[in-house]
């Protein structure tokens, strides 16, 4: 699934099915190790990627990662349910604490850089201001220069307005300005019609598959 020969090394946390991993591979990274708690997500990941993929709680796996000390980048999107406006926005939600677990791994591995993705509310709501400050201060104490920005997928040629927070750290005293550095990658998003108009009608060579999945409403919504 590589677009080019990769020369940079990376570790993927909270990998899910590998959405961020695909982006990092296309950007020139070789993802050596990945992890998620969800076995089904890992099964999908293993179908599409060649990196070592481990199923289980990241808290139980941190010590085994020391062999990847000084990797070029550690990236991941810790669970967002505790911060999402679609959920209860509860800092006491155990899943919210996994942001700290992400930073604990940064402190152990000392990568040259890290990228954390999460929902925009973590970056904007006053309710999370203290949490946000502690996160940034912790990264600075570890010796990282940081920036925290919100980007929409529509800014990069995707026909969807999906906004996400990105917290990035680079080891040492650096000028980390994500907004400025993104200028060379900005691309106007096509309309939905432009994006899917070449699929053809259902049953054609361009659109051969039909989704027969039943639509159900969860008794206990995941975000809650």
- How many whole angstroms from its chain centre is CA 154? 17
- Given 42, 80, 209, 211, which residue is catalytic? 80
* Residue pair 165/149 in contact by the 8 Å Cβ criterion: yes
Q: Cα 141 vs. chain centroid, distance in angstroms?
A: 23
Q: How far is CA 102 from CA 13, 14, 81, in A?
A: 8, 9, 16
Mark 50-85 as b/e (b = at least 16 C-beta within 10 Å): ebebbbeebeeebeebeebeebbbbbbbbbbbbbbe
Q: What is the pLDDT of residues 133-153, one digit of tens each?
A: 989 999 999 999 999 999 988
- Are the CB atoms for 146 and 140 separated by under 8 Å? yes
Strands (E), 5-72: 8-13, 29-36, 52-55
pLDDT at residue 10, rounded to an integer: 97
Q: Is the pLDDT of residue 1 over 50?
A: no
The pLDDT score that the predictor gives to residue 74 is 97
Q: Tokens 């509310």 sit at which residue?
A: 121
Q: How far is CA 23 from CA 28, 31, 75, 142, 221, in A?
A: 9, 11, 11, 26, 29
Q: Report the alpha-carbon distance of residue 155 to residue 162 in Å, rounded.
A: 10
**Torsional class of 55: left (φ above 0), alpha (ψ -120 to 50), beta (otherwise):** beta
Tokens linked to 183:
């200028």
Q: Strand 73-76 to strand 113-118: parallel, antiparallel, or no bridges (unpaired)?
A: parallel
CATH architecture of 8-195: 3-Layer(aba) Sandwich (3.40)
Residue 5: band (very low, low, confident or very high) from pLDDT cuts 50, 70, 90: low
Q: Is residue 92 pLDDT above 70, yes or no?
A: no
Q: What are phi and psi of 67, to 5 degrees?
A: -70, -15
**211 classed as catalytic:** no
Q: Is the pLDDT reported for residue 67 higher than 80?
A: yes
Rounded distance between C-alpha atoms, residue 88 and residue 73, angstroms: 31
pLDDT value, residue 205: 75
**For residue 172, what are its two tokens?**
């040492």
């Amino acid at each position: 699934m590589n677009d080019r020969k990769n020369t940079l090394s990376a570790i993927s946390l909270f990998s899910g099915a590998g959405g961020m991993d695909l982006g990092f591979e296309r950007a020139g990274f070789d993802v050596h190790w990945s992890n998620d708690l969800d076995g089904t997500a890992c099964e999908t990941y293993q179908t599409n990627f060649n990196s070592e993929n481990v199923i289980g709680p990241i808290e139980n796996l941190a010590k085994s990662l020391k062999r990847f000390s000084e990797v070029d980048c550690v990236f991941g999107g810790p669970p967002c349910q505790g911060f999402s406006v679609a959920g209860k926005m509860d800092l006491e939600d155990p899943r919210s604490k996994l942001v700290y677990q992400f930073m604990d791994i940064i402190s152990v591995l000392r990568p040259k850089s890290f990228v954390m993705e999460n929902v925009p509310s973590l970056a904007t709501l006053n309710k999370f201001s203290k949490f946000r400050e502690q996160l940034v201060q912790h990264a600075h104490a570890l010796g990282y220069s940081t920036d925290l920005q919100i980007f929409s997928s529509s800014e990069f040629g995707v026909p969807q307005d999906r906004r996400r927070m990105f917290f990035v750290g680079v080891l040492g005293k650096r000028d980390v300005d994500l907004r400025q550095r993104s200028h060379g990658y900005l691309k106007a998003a096509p309309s939905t019609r432009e994006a899917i108009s070449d699929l053809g009608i259902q049953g054609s060579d361009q659109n051969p598959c039909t989704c027969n999945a039943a639509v159900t409403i969860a008794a206990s919504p995941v975000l809650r």
